[in-house]
Structure 1
Amino acid sequence: MKIRFATTDADLLACRRAVQALRPLLTDERYDEAIRSTLADNRQMLFVDTGGEAAAVAVFETGYNLFRGKYLYIDDLSTLPEHRGKGYAGLLLDWILDYAEREGLQEVHLDSGVSEARTDAHRLYLNKRFQVTSLHFVRKM
Structure 2
Amino acid sequence: MAKSDSQILECFPILAQLRPHLKQEDFLEKVQRQKQNGYELAFLERDAQIFAVAGFCIDECLAWGRFLYVYDLVVDETVRSKGYGQNLFEWLIEFGRHHDCKELHLDSGVQRFDAHRFYLQQRMNIVCHHFSLNL
TM-score (norm 2): 0.94
1:1-141 matches, within 5 Å, as 5-115=1-111, 118-141=112-135
Deviations along 1:89-138, one digit per CA (max 9) or x if unpaired, are: 111110111122222211110000011xx222111111111100000000
Is the Cα–Cα contact under 8 Å of residues 15 and 53 in structure 1 kept in the other structure? no
TM-superposed CA distance for 1:140, in Å, is: 0.6
CA distance in 1 between partners of 2:73 and 2:133 (Å): 23
Name the SS for the 1:101 alignment partner.
helix
CA distance in 1 between partners of 2:64 and 2:26 (Å): 32
RMSD between aligned alpha carbons?
1.2
CA distance in 2 between partners of 1:64 and 1:31 (Å): 26
CA distance in 2 between partners of 1:49 and 1:23 (Å): 20
TM-superposed CA distance for 1:57, in Å, is: 0.3
Identity of aligned residues (%): 33
TM-score (norm 1): 0.90
Deviations along 1:8-42, one digit per CA (max 9) or x if unpaired, are: 12211211101111110101122121121222221
Unpaired stretches in structure 1, ≥5 consecutive residues: none
Give the aligned residue type for 1:102: H
CA distance in 1 between partners of 2:59 and 2:41 (Å): 15
Name the SS for the 1:98 alignment partner.
helix
Q: Give the number of aligned pairs.
A: 135
Runs of 4 or more, structure 1, over 4 Å off, are none
